[in-house]
Amino acid sequence: MANTSPVYARINTQLKEEAESVMNKLGISPSNAIQMLYSQIVLLQGMPFEIKMPARKPVDISSLSQEELNAELLKGVNSLKSGKALTEAEVEQELSELYSL
Report all structural domains of the chain as residue ranges with CATH numbers, in order of start.
Answer: 1-51 (1.10.1220.10), 61-99 (no CATH)
Q: What is the per-residue pLDDT across 33-66, written as a single tens digit (0 to 9) for each?
A: 999 999 999 999 999 998 877 666 777 888 889 9
Spell out a b/e string for 67-79, using b for 16 or more CB atoms within 10 Å of the CB, else e.
Answer: eeeeeeeeeeeee
User: Which amino acid appears at position 89 of this protein?
Assistant: A
C-alpha Rg value of the chain to the nearest Å: 22
* Of 51, 61, 62, nearest in space to 100 by CA: 51
Quick one: how far is CA 97 from the chain centroid?
12
Q: What is the per-residue pLDDT across 15-24, written as a single tens digit (0 to 9) for each?
A: 999 999 999 9
What pTM, to 2 d.p., does this model score?
0.52
Three-class SS of residue 64?
coil
